[in-house]
Amino acid sequence: MGRMKPKNANAHFITGTGTDIGKTWLVCALLRYWREQGGVPCAYKPVLSGFVAENPAASDAGQLLATLGRGLTMPDVNAIAPWRFTAPLSPGMAAAAEGRSIDFAALVAFTRQVAGDCPSSVLIEGVGGVMAPLDHRHTVRDWIAAAKLPCVLVAGSYLGSLSHTLSALEALRKVDAGVTAIVVNETPESTVSLAATAESLRHHVGKVPVIVLARANVAAGIAELAGLLSSR
């Protein structure tokens, strides 16, 4: 039996090869683009580590809400990021530090529900990298597969990114997670060129589109990716 399609064909999961790779930045850039085009997109960050209740604006959830033009009240935060933890650790470790755990079934149900409820483009931002543990049994990869959402894999252009990106792609393919695109986010002061990184990846990823986000022309890459995600 093939993969079930989500209720919203324009729903995507944004994941990455690791932490601090630019997932939130990319989600916000896409949201701004769609809103400037007259769209009403949705975005969620269901699992969030490193959340400081006294300064929600500094969190990933706060950035998403600001980009969506929504408030920063706790009900607003709860609506898009229900699983929040204080420690800036992998989600499983951050939850354990508070004597809590992530209910995986509830997380998957929430993800599928909000992805289907939004009538327009919707982005679900993951946490950490593809294989970041959520609990003792599940990783972000399991979350993506169970939610049955296609994903965008965000990578960098630093030395070593090729191996990290191809390993993440292989991990996703093992659970039949559809990858709509790989986005190579230019790494500042990298010893490896962005163009060379993208070109090398294209030889190994089959038909998966590789989109570059060059700091000198970010708008072009965002427009290309937004069009790809909206055309599915």
Point out the residues that are catalytic. 45
Secondary structure letter of residue 70 according to DSSP:
-
Q: From residue 181, how far is each of 14, 52, 101, 221 by CA, in Å?
A: 10, 32, 31, 12
Q: From residue 44, how far is each of 70, 115, 156, 166, 184 by CA, in Å?
A: 13, 9, 23, 26, 22
Backbone angles phi, psi at 192, to 5 degrees: -115, 135
Region at 20 (left for phi over 0; alpha for psi -120 to 50; beta for the rest): left
CB 112 within 8 A of CB 6: yes
- Terminal CA-to-CA distance of the chain, rounded, Å? 21
